[in-house]
Amino acid sequence: MKNLYRAVLAAAALLALVLAAPARQKVDLNKVAGSWSLEVNAGGEFYYLTLDLKVKDGKLEGGLTEQNGMFKDAPLAAIEFDGTTLKFDVTIPTPPDGGERLVKTEMKLVEAKLEGMLTIADLGLSAGVAGVKK
């Protein structure tokens, strides 16, 4: 009888936790979908990129292009958008030697603009990035 009481009590507690958890709202991915002009400020050196994002099967996918042709449509990985913060990884050729490196990017959507940082851990480099939708 004690075991039955404990099982019912545990099930009730679990049900209460599930019901008390906030409902997960669906994020509007279209807020960031589209083509973005990005400006990267790496210690006074500026780089200009185009970020293309689209929604496919309920997820974001896209690519990154450098305006002078250093790379085109580099595929994005680990794309996340929570309604405010956009994160993604991309492997692209980077200065100083053009070697391919992983770049992690995190930007906040603020008044229809993207603002944040990109980090290249291999170089110990972080740079500011800002963008506007084309």
What is the C-alpha to C-alpha distance for residues 26 and 132, in angstroms, rounded to an integer? Answer: 24
What is the C-alpha to C-alpha distance for residues 52 and 49, in angstroms, rounded to an integer? Answer: 10
State which fold the 29-133 domain adopts: Lipocalin (2.40.128)
C-alpha dihedral sign at 124, 100, 129, 87: negative
Average pLDDT over residues 81-98: 94
**In which band, very low, low, confident or very high, does the pLDDT at 96 lie, cut at 50, 70 and 90?**
confident
| Mean per-residue pLDDT over the chain, rounded | 87
Dump pLDDT digits (tens) for 29-87.
999 999 999 999 999 999 999 999 999 999 999 999 999 999 999 999 999 999 999 99
Whether pLDDT at 104 is above 90: yes
What is the C-alpha to C-alpha distance for residues 56 and 99, in angstroms, rounded to an integer? Answer: 31
Report the pLDDT value the prediction gives residue 24, as an integer from 0 to 100: 54
- For residues 39 and 95, which has the higher predicted lDDT (pLDDT)? 39
Indicate the domain borders of the chain. Answer: 29-133
Please report, for residues 48, 58, 117, the alpha-carbon distance to residue 102 in angstroms, rounded to integers and kept in the order given.
18, 25, 14
**In which band, very low, low, confident or very high, does the pLDDT at 21 lie, cut at 50, 70 and 90?**
very low
Average pLDDT over residues 3-15: 45
| One-letter identity of residue 58 | G
Instruction: For the chain, list the strands marked E by DSSP.
Output: 34-42, 45-56, 59-66, 74-81, 85-94, 99-110, 113-120, 125-133
